[in-house]
Structure 1
Amino acid sequence: MPTRPRTSLLEEESVTFAANLIRFESVNTGDPATIGDGETRAARYVQERLEELGIPTVFVEPAPGRGSVVARLHGSDPHAGALVLHAHLDVVPADAEGWTHPPFGGVIDDGMLYGRGAVDMKDFAGVLLAVAREFARRGRVPRRDLVFAFLADEESGGAHGAGWLVDNRPELFAGATQALGEVGGFSVPYGDRRAYLLATGEKGVATASVVTRGASGHASLPHRDDAVVRLVETVARISGYSAPSTRSRTTDALLQAFAEETGRPFTDRTLSSDLGSLGFVGRLIAASLHSTVAPTMLRAGEKGNVIPSEARAHLDIRTLPGEEKRLRNTLRTLAWPGATVEWHDGPPAIESPDDAPLTRVIAEAIAAEDPDAVVLPYLLPASTDNKHFAKLGIDGYGFVPLRVPTDFDVYAQFHAVDERVPVSSLHFSARVTAEILQRA
């Protein structure tokens, strides 16, 4: 049998650090009363691993338990803009029921690393930590300054993480012109080869509350003047609404690339079936073609035999650039007459140049490991800490390089039961990330 290539210390440390970080229960519920000190303990672990090799760090803790760490490796060209590499250390909650392995066990089984944060995003935190140590250990000097940021609170908007640092410690990112973090870099099927998706933009974020009112009364005497019925009908109309498709320059180029590779036209007339032919890749692209509204929380009543006088729904909204006003008006039209629609603006959509030198460096680093592959820019339908760094004029990109099996949907692992990543993908990520940072 052929001898398996020996893994390097860089690759081994990437896996070890990712697994160890998973074991910190840095759960971000969004409720200060239920958030423990997991983020701080994870940040201190990162700080210790960096300082072991003489890398100076800055630790901040805006609120108890909400720790972040920032470190800078100086480059050879003081005039080159610094590059921010960021990964968040918090994770969403995980109920152990249904998991093959404990969600905070960091277990490796059959070539897979299991655990909450395996792809979102303690995998990249482990890779960045290993790469920073590799550079320090070998005395490797990048061309530009590299700012490593290991952050709290991304899962609840970043007020105690990237947002706080941008507002209160902007000097830590002095001279930075670009940032690299989630969500992208994973391979997807592309004909008989692979494409690696590079997020060059992100949808905007907003939320809305819909409140309906009616007459309260005893549940034994139901009536139509019922706030719950009105809310349910409103939510059903909103859920059935499909915003018009809009092809941004990035999305149009992505569809054209898939058209050339697959021989399908990807015209407006055939778009639905053409995207369906791409499987999970098509679903991801489809989400970037239009603004979306998803009801996520419903609340009404305090007692089972009482018809409440008020009912409320929370809506998660992701908008394409310039569509906020139109969508806000549409929600009011879809709501029950007399209902209150409370719109709350979040971070706006962002878009970075898809032809910057950094994107070429990323393509070259991928080609060195996967010669037949291509790197394709896309619009991320979600939101990341790149939106905070944009306030400092920093262009944000999403690229966590992961070469995965053809049928492995990385995006579906986010917030999922049995979240996992192939160990070989972490080895690949470490090699490619180190190459990107050396070339950048």
Structure 2
Amino acid sequence: MERRRSISTKKSFISRYVLNLQFLLMAFLCVLIIIGVVYFTSGKEAQSENSNNKTQNKPVYVNTSPLKPSKWDDNEEINIFREYLRIPSVHPNVDYEPCVEFLKQQAASLNLPIAIYYPVDDQNPVVVITWKGSQPELPAIMLNSHMDVVPVYVEYWTHPPFGADIDDNDDIFARGTQDMKSVGMQYLAAIRSLQRDGVDRLKRTVHIVYVPDEEVGGKRGMVEFVKSVAFKSLNVTFVLDEGSVAINDEGVMPVYHAERTIWQLEFIFHGQSGHGSKLLNYTPGEKFNLVLRKFMEFRAEESRKLNELNYPYGNVTTINLTKVKGGVENNVIPAEMSATFDIRIAVDTDLDEFNRMINGWCTEAGGDITIKALNKGEKEKVTPVDDSNPFWSAFKSSTEESGIKIQPMVLWASSDMRYIRRYNIPAFGFSPLMNTVAKLHDHNEYINVMTYLNGINVYKKIIPSLANV
């Protein structure tokens, strides 16, 4: 009997043990499930937060450098300029809101109305500050600049790229000093000085405009803004925009009145494929070789015009091979290869004739070549620089009054003004960057304090001259 009771007791103990073990296992599983749910939910929230951050276009570069004191701390215009420079409105993922808030403050200080437009989305504002003219029914003058700047490589800078430090030579170092936050602030500084001189208003209304996205093509800025009802309501008849530094040792300043046409073309060469040991005809490589040779011969002639005949950059066609793709194995002749060319076509070139020339090369190469237009711009319009354009006469006389020598030129790169000119609105590109080494898009971009202040005086003559036409 005792033995049976003992056996029964052991069985009961084992049963309770098993039940306890099962309970512990179930509890452990429940804990794991809860942890999994929490982890999954927090992960989703983190992904959502990251997604929101992307859509909000937060800046990649955050300015943490303190403002370095200088002997110019009591100069109002230098302080305003430095404040603008310290806003890191830098690609990619530009956050323009600090620029907008800063410009609201500037408009308020000038007692001028400000309007914010969003022609593409709420991440890319266009800011318009308006100085109403005494005859507002007349078409208006537009002073344009862009808020965005190109990326920086901090390790190559001798000063913080968004610190706006002033060195012992009175040079201000920051991204945007030359391209083109200086011009944007000089417009306002000139107007402030005119107001203090008692100039209540000029004959024509002046719109001071700050656009986004210029450095990457303007598709989220000027491209759409110029099509908008808001732009049409400004009733613009002439636009002044950015230029560059002096073009020679004599200090002659360029005035850009036209731009070359941009074509970026991808050539896809189709042809005979096979074993790499064979000499097959009409292979993609053969076709690529002939087209490349034709382009390089054309490029060599344009280089001769530039380097031997001293043509200005804007009057030659530049061609550069920028991408090559093709092939899968070392011993297989590919059935397809591609090459991309960046082409900037001189203003006096017939685009139809140029297109026929390229197509002729493809035919000569054996055909079966697809030309994909990645960017095939239209013929860019040219703003007249003679007496037929009253704004040219006004601009020329005002710069001469400032002692500046100017020379009309075709811009070697590209700007938002090509979109303006396409609507038959005359436009010039000019920056009063005298005695300055070109550092646009380069490390250690800078402007000298006196160059900046003298530029204000230059615009103080240019703006009334244009607005009183």
Normalising by structure 2, we get a TM-score of 0.70
Per-residue CA deviation, residues 244-266 of structure 1 (Å, 9 max, x unaligned), is 77xxxxxxxxxxxxxxxxxxxxx
Kindly name which structure, 1 or 2, has the bigger radius of gyration based on alpha carbons. Answer: 2
Whichever residue aligns with residue 372 of structure 2, its letter is: E
* Paired residues for 1:4-43 under 5 Å: 12-13=76-77, 15-28=78-91, 35-43=92-100
Q: Aligned in 2, Cα 1:234/1:171: closer, same or farther, shift over 3 Å?
A: closer
User: Is residue 2:339 matched to residue 1:313?
Assistant: yes
Structure 2 partner of 1:388: 419
Structure 2 partner of 1:104: 162
Q: Would the aligned equivalents of 1:66 and 1:153 in 2 still touch at CA under 8 Å? A: yes
Q: Would the aligned equivalents of 2:258 and 2:418 in 1 still touch at CA under 8 Å? A: no
Q: Would the aligned equivalents of 1:205 and 1:348 in 2 still touch at CA under 8 Å? A: no
Cα RMSD between the aligned structures?
A: 3.6
Distance 1:395 1:241 in 2: 32
Whichever residue aligns with residue 178 of structure 1, its letter is: F
- Greater share of helix: 2
Q: Aligned in 2, Cα 1:59/1:236: closer, same or farther, shift over 3 Å?
A: farther
Distance 1:298 1:217 in 2: 20
Q: Secondary structure at the match of 1:342?
A: strand
* Paired residues for 1:154-169 under 5 Å: 154-169=214-229
Q: Would the aligned equivalents of 1:107 and 1:114 in 2 still touch at CA under 8 Å? A: yes
Q: Flag the structure with more relative contact order, 1 or 2, with Cα contacts below 8 A and sequence separation at least 6.
A: 1
Structure 2 partner of 1:324: 351
Q: Aligned in 2, Cα 1:63/1:296: closer, same or farther, shift over 3 Å?
A: farther
Distance 1:188 1:231 in 2: 38
Deviation at 1:438? 1.9
The counterpart of 2:409, out of the listed 359, 378, 382, is: 378
Distance 1:292 1:271 in 2: 10
Q: What 5-or-longer segments of structure 1 have no aligned partner?
A: 1-5, 29-34, 246-267, 276-284
Deviation at 1:133? 3.9
Distance 2:80 2:330 in 1: 49
Q: Aligned in 2, Cα 1:218/1:274: closer, same or farther, shift over 3 Å?
A: closer
Q: Aligned in 2, Cα 1:134/1:242: closer, same or farther, shift over 3 Å?
A: same
Distance 2:332 2:109 in 1: 62
Q: Secondary structure at the match of 2:464?
A: helix
Q: Aligned in 2, Cα 1:430/1:304: closer, same or farther, shift over 3 Å?
A: farther
* Paired residues for 1:27-176 under 5 Å: 27-28=90-91, 35-61=92-118, 62-78=120-136, 80-109=138-167, 110-136=169-195, 140=199, 141-171=201-231, 174-176=234-236
Structure 2 partner of 1:207: 264
Percent identity of paired positions between Structure 1 and Structure 2: 23
Per-residue CA deviation, residues 200-223 of structure 1 (Å, 9 max, x unaligned), is 22222222112234688999x899
Distance 1:306 1:117 in 2: 50
Distance 1:85 1:64 in 2: 23
Distance 2:233 2:137 in 1: 14
Distance 1:341 1:353 in 2: 34
Structure 2 partner of 1:360: 393
Distance 1:360 1:367 in 2: 11
Deviation at 1:146? 0.7
Distance 2:333 2:99 in 1: 47
Whichever residue aligns with residue 342 of structure 1, its letter is: K
